[in-house]
Amino acid sequence: METKKKVPTNTITRDVKYLAEPTGNIYESVVVLYKRANQIALAEKKELMRKLEDFRNDRDTMEEVFENKEQIEISKYYERQP
C-alpha cells in the first residue's frame, strides 16, 4: 500500500554532506541542529504564553473563553507554524 504525504511547498532539502562539514561528524551536527530547534521552540512557546497571558482571567466562564476572537487568532497563528 502506497501512502503519499503532501509536502509543503516551502520545504527545502539539505545535503547531509554539507550539514556535516562544520563539525566533521554528521551525528554531532544532528545534535547541534536538535539543540537549536529546541531553543527556537522554547522561545516561541514563551512568546505565545506571554501573548496569551493578557487574556488570562481566573473567573472566565467557558462562554467567555470561546468568544475571545483575538485569543483564538493568536492560537491559530501558532498552530499553523511548522
Q: To which residue does cell 520545504 refer? A: 11
Question: Which grid coordinates are listed for 27?
Answer: 551525528
Residue 20: how many CA atoms within 13 Å on its side-chain side? 7
pLDDT tens-digit map of 4-32: 778 778 888 888 888 888 889 999 999 99
Question: What DSSP character marks residue 24?
Answer: S
The pTM assigned to this predicted structure is: 0.57
Q: To which residue does cell 483564538 refer? A: 72
What one-letter code names the amino acid at 11?
T
User: In terms of Cα–Cα distance, which of 9, 11, 27 is closest to 19?
Assistant: 27
Cβ atoms 16, 26 nearer than 8 A: yes
Which of the four pLDDT bands, split at 50, 70 and 90, describes residue 66? low
How big is the chain by its Cα radius of gyration, in Å? 19
